[in-house]
Amino acid sequence: MPQFDHAFDWVRRHVEQGPLPTAVLGVATADGVAALDAFGAASVDDHYPLFSITKPIVGLAALHLVEQGRLTPDTPLTRAIPSFGAGRDDVVRLRHLASHTSGIVEPPLDTPRGLRPSLLAPGRDFAAGTASRYSTIAFEGIAALIEDASGAPWERAVAQVGERADAAGLTFDADASPHAPVEAAEQGLDWPRFASLRHPGAGLFARAADLLAVGSALLRDDGSLVARVTSEAMRRPITAGLPKLEPYPESRGQDWGFTWNLRHSAPGLLARDTYGHGGWAGTEFWITPSLGVCFVLLTNVGGGVGRLGIDGDELHNAVAAAA
């Protein structure tokens, strides 16, 4: 098996010397887990809040319904919520919700109004499909489309993603995790209120092994999680050529696929086919098919590691070079 000593040393150093409070790092191939370790007051079996890594998991749930002929990327949100978009002269479709191109005005993660009222708030940021600005509330729309198409709670469709990947630990229960993000309040997040929302764009909790199981299934590309044609489609850039607004401008070297962050020309990376997602508390989940590897970093830094001067691309490259 490949040796990933430099990657694990990177995490160990950032926990022992600061500023990471705790961390779990795991690396997997198509054959399963290659290396897994915990640092600080953490266990490899601990659940962590994933925040926005939730998005591609919910995206996989929606794509399963596309495969069943119950949705298409072009399905309008109004099919599930007829009252959506009053006063808008455009049509917001599933592909817009999944690629941050819906133009829905974004509320805080811990929105006191609740998810559905925030989704239905009047106005827009831009016309659907004309620009890209990161959106978490859009996933409330995806959840509504999942429920409309499946006839069951959207959380059930997410659980089924875990079942197909043998990732039994996916949960929206905040009590499952001993690792609430540190300094959340200082970074503007009411953690208890946020956790109570069970947000379809940011509310999942999981163990490293759960995400590694998802990554391994996608690396195998054997149809167990999504069909091969679906795997190709979800990594097809949707935002190519569109204006990219803060916080993900063109210079970051990425596009959005169907809920996946495609880091195809990120200036700090060695690899050029890496896709995955990060989360608000510093969590990372990335897959590089050309190297046959994926990795997961779970940690709990409110506001993410970037604000502390940590360059996560260093970890990306340590994993890629070892693979």
What is the CATH classification number for the domain harbouring 117?
Answer: 3.40.710.10
Q: Which two tokens stand for residue 29?
A: 């191939």
- What's the half-sphere exposure (Cβ side, CA atoms, 13 Å) at 200? 30
Distance CA 129, CA 47 (A): 36
**Neighbouring-strand partners of residue 284:** 278, 297
Asked if pLDDT for residue 1 goes beyond 70, the answer is no
Confidence of residue 2 (pLDDT cuts 50, 70, 90): low
54 to 18, 65, 82, 140: CA distances (angstroms) = 26, 17, 26, 12
Domain that holds residue 231: 5-322
pLDDT at position 308: 85
Burial readout 232-258 (b: 16 or more C-beta within 10 A, e: otherwise): eebbeebbeebebeeebeeeeebbbbb
User: 115-155 pLDDT, tens per residue?
Assistant: 999 999 999 999 999 999 999 999 999 999 999 999 999 99
Domain count, the chain: 1
**Which amino acid, one-letter code, is at 22?**
T
Confidence of residue 12 (pLDDT cuts 50, 70, 90): very high
- 3-state class (DSSP) for residue 118: helix
User: 64-108 pLDDT, tens per residue?
Assistant: 999 999 999 999 999 999 999 998 999 999 999 999 999 999 999
User: 279-301 pLDDT, tens per residue?
Assistant: 999 999 999 999 999 999 999 99
Q: Are 270 and 288 in contact, with CB atoms under 8 Å apart?
A: no
pTM listed for this prediction: 0.98
